[in-house]
Structure 1
Amino acid sequence: MDFAKNLVLENSRVRLRPLETADFEPLKAVAFDPELWRYTLTRADDAVSLAAYLAQAVQERQAERRYPFAIIDRASGQLAGSTSYYGVVPDDQRLSIGYTWVGTAFQRTGLNRAAKHLLLCHAFGALGCERVELETDSRNLKSQQAMRRMGATEEGTLRRHRLTQGGVRRDTVIFSIIRPEWDALRHSVFAEFDA
């Protein structure tokens, strides 16, 4: 994966482009909701934490640890949140999709599923992945339901896996989609975006 490349992915519903520190102002409208950050590793629900979140995302891209995207709702043109590739292991042909958050007004609208469609298409296509992983806090039932609805397979729980905000150790639920499953999912769960 070329972390230096400005990757833009687009379908009928959403546009993904590299996240930038300049996205601070438009993201304030959706990020300043404490409920969005309840189960995340860090918070970005005020000016200081959002600026730090953006700076860290850009630094992690430069260090080739994470490729953060801005999620843009094509219908309104608004920035709706962010998502990332991370944990990229070329030798094993796998990566993770995560660091995903979408403003409340955009939840349950299909926007997140449309963004996942783009990321999965690119991962299994251009990047040649055999496996894409997704993970979430075991307390985040909403996220787990969303992963199941898009056809990801729950593989298990890693106990006391990650240190999260406030110094709390979370259990992490791991989901995956593998290459042999992708074609069927493209033509079922993601069919409306796969034109």
Structure 2
Amino acid sequence: MALPLPGTLTGRLVTLEPLSHEHHDGLVAAARDGELWNLWYTHVPTPEGMDAEIDRRLGLQEAGSMIPFTTLRNDTGEIIGMTTFMNIDARVPRVEIGSTWNAVSAQGSGTNPDAKLLMLGHAFETWGCPAVEFRTDFHNQQSRAAIARLGARQDGILRAHMRMPGYLRDTVVFSITESEWAGVRVGLERRILRHLERRLAQTTPETAE
């Protein structure tokens, strides 16, 4: 049993395209924006490892446990990162949104909440998930704060959960339930609207008096 693939998801700020090797060069450029692979508490592929990472994610899709996307900005068409539905249990159904990274220049632009709005909307409204999960490294304070801003609640911490280079990772688990989704959706929509209004104010020429 597998969840039906969602295809391309299009929002107001971003488009999520099914991952393919055609995205390779754009993903390499996005990872180089901030040299994200140097962050020790998260996993972002190096330019040299991008092919292997694409293969890995597509292999997990073939196995039915992941649906990977490439994230593109709508205003420029630029590739800014990757995200996935992962740890899929189609019987419940239940999914985790994770393995996400974005170029440094795209952070704070509203692109992440728009991507999460698309994915949460699909999980709750199309697949009928009763809950959607998020996980992150205990030390990744930026990720933990971003997940909390979405409206997710912390479920707990899995101690010594994963072996990472040089240490055992404690994993912080968050989730959003179906009953919470309506409020989370409103909050995300308002955040996206504020970003759109800010962009409009920056691009509208001042009217001479």
TM-score by length of 1: 0.90
Deviates more, 1:6-15 or 1:178-187: 6-15
One-letter identity of the residue aligned with 1:121: G
Distance 1:193 1:128, change over 3 A: farther
Alignment of 1:85-100 (within 5 A): 85-100=85-100
Distance in 2 (CA, whole Å) between partners of 1:110 and 1:148 is 15
Counterparts of 1:108-127 in structure 2 under 5 Å?
108-127=108-127
Distance 2:156 2:163 in 1: 18
**Contact 1:11 1:193 (8 Å CA) reproduced:** no
Verify the 8 A CA contact 2:31 2:44 in the aligned structure 1: no
- Name the amino acid aligned to 1:45: T
Q: 1-side partners of 2:21 and 2:136: how far apart?
A: 25
Q: CA deviation at 1:39?
A: 1.9
- Distance in 2, Cα, partners of 1:108 & 1:34: 17
**Structure with the greater alpha carbon radius of gyration:** 2
Which residue of 1 is the match for residue 198 of structure 2? none
Alignment deviations for residues 135-192 of structure 1 (CA, whole Å, 9 cap, x no partner): 000000000000111111011110011122x253200000100000001111223346
Matched with 1:182 is 181
For the 8 Å contact 1:24–1:51, the answer to whether it is kept is yes
CA contact (8 A) 2:137 2:172 kept: yes
Aligned with 1:182: secondary structure?
helix
Point out where structure 1 has 5 or more consecutive residues left out of the alignment: none
Distance 1:138 1:192, change over 3 A: closer
Shift of 1:35: 3.5
The SS at the match of 1:91 is coil
> 2:46 aligns to what?
45
Task: Report the Cα distance in structure 2 between the residues aligned to 1:90 and 1:44, rounded to whole angstroms.
Answer: 28
Alignment correspondent of 1:29? 29
2:171 aligned residue: 172
Structure 1 runs of 4+ aligned residues shifted over 6 Å read none
**Any conservation in 1 of the 2:36–2:103 contact (CA below 8 Å)?**
no
Q: Give the share of equivalent positions with the same residue, in percent.
A: 31
Structure 2's unaligned 5+ residue stretches are 194-209
Query: 8 Å contact 1:6–1:17 — kept in the other structure?
Result: no
Contact 1:83/1:98 (<8 A) preserved: yes
Q: Is the 8 A contact 2:36 2:44 kept in 1?
A: no
Aligned to 2:205: none
* Cα distance per residue 1:106-138 (max 9 Å; x no partner): 011110110000000000011000000000000
